[in-house]
Structure 1
Amino acid sequence: MSLVPNIEALAREPWLSFQLDGQHYAVLLSRVSEVIRDASPTPVPGAADDLLGICHLRGNIVPVMDGRRRLGLSHSEPGDPSTVRIVVCTHESHRVGLRVDAVGDLLQPKADAIQLPPARSGRVDDPVQVVMGWHGGFVALLDVPTLCRLHKELKDVA
């Protein structure tokens, strides 16, 4: 991301954590409309490789992305299919589902525990905003608009 995140503001909000390929990620809880059981989305011909398809959710069409593929992780199936969930994220009027291996805890980080991620090159669409040490590893907080490709210039595209 080109903008430096406001770490103090990110520490004021709880984060919903989840797992993908054994790694921990999170999104701001205020960006989550709901968590649902895994579904079989209807495929969309010609869609991006990480778009699993679309689901009908209470009268709305919601695109569902594969969290593993979106973040460049292993394409293998999760170890326990019964824990797979779809985290429905929101940004402005958009809703996008993200299939995750398992939903974890609500985290309330402290500002001094949050850091900018290590510099990585080659990815202009990297959704990792900040990282926080947690249980001997770390949790990467993801920026929902970047994660779901909801760029300002693409108001009607998920």
Structure 2
Amino acid sequence: MHDNTGNKDQFVVFQLGSEEYGVNISQAKEIIKPKNITNVPNTPEHVLGVINLRGQIVPVVDMKKRFSIELEDNEETDSSRIITVEVNDALIGIKVDGVNEVVWLDQDKLEPAPEVAGGVRQEYLIGIGKIEDRLLVLVDLNKILFEDTDEIKN
């Protein structure tokens, strides 16, 4: 999680509803607009389907459904994006409401994860990052994408 030049980490900041989340930039590969998601039968509810990304089939996970965030307005907007991430040598797309920015965070601006942050339990978080007056929920993609869904729900 650390870069070799000091005590800073870089994160891609994305939006889910009114909350901001972050993933380590070393896991993020690219950010694309959602397009042509093909439904796959008998997959978990949070799996939207697959996309063809330059000849590679990439599963797409709806992060709102994965986090059991209320879906008051889950329609795709112009700001919706898919962030392709590499986790456990697998390329996976995560659908988010928008990508806000890329930030550097000093290690001293990172706090341990509280019991619950934004409806997500502590074991699925790396921690909380402080950016001026904002809090950024830093997620553990390995646990979120590869552990049983029932354990995530509150």
TM-score with structure 2 setting the length: 0.81
**Structure 1 residue 147 displacement after superposition:** 2.2
* 2:58 alignment partner AA: V
Matches within 5 A, 1:50-69: 50-69=46-65
Distance in 1 (CA, whole Å) between partners of 2:33 and 2:76 is 13
Question: Segments of 4+ in structure 1 off by > 4 A?
Answer: 123-126
Is 91-100 or 126-135 further displaced after alignment?
A: 126-135
Query: 5+ unaligned residues in a row in structure 1: which ranges?
Result: 1-5, 152-158
**Structure 1 residue 39 displacement after superposition:** 1.7
The alignment's C-alpha RMSD in Å is 2.5
Give the counterpart of 2:90 among 94, 103, 108.
Answer: 94
Distance in 2 (CA, whole Å) between partners of 1:54 and 1:80 is 16
**Structure 1 residue 15 displacement after superposition:** 0.3
Query: 5+ unaligned residues in a row in structure 2: which ranges?
Result: 149-154
Distance in 2 (CA, whole Å) between partners of 1:144 and 1:102 is 17
Which digits, 9 at most, give the CA deviation of each residue in 1:90-117, with x for residues without a partner? 0242011000101011111111110111
1:67–1:98 Cα contact (<8 Å) kept = yes
TM-score with structure 1 setting the length: 0.79
Change (3 A) 1:62 1:15: same
Q: Percent identity?
A: 23
2:115–2:122 Cα contact (<8 Å) kept = no
Which digits, 9 at most, give the CA deviation of each residue in 1:19-58, with x for residues without a partner? 0011000101110111000123111111111000011111
1:148 aligned residue? 145
User: Do structure 1's residue 28 and structure 2's residue 10 form an aligned pair?
Assistant: no
Matches within 5 A, 1:5-16: 9=2, 11-16=7-12
User: Do structure 1's residue 136 and structure 2's residue 129 form an aligned pair?
Assistant: no
Distance in 1 (CA, whole Å) between partners of 2:70 and 2:36 is 20
**Structure 1 residue 124 displacement after superposition:** 7.7
**Structure 1 residue 143 displacement after superposition:** 1.4
2:128–2:136 Cα contact (<8 Å) kept = yes
**Structure 1 residue 78 displacement after superposition:** 5.2
Change (3 A) 1:62 1:150: farther
* 1:133 alignment partner AA: K
2:152 aligned residue? none
Distance in 2 (CA, whole Å) between partners of 1:96 and 1:125 is 22
Which digits, 9 at most, give the CA deviation of each residue in 1:48-97, with x for residues without a partner? 11000011111111000001111111223358700000000102420110
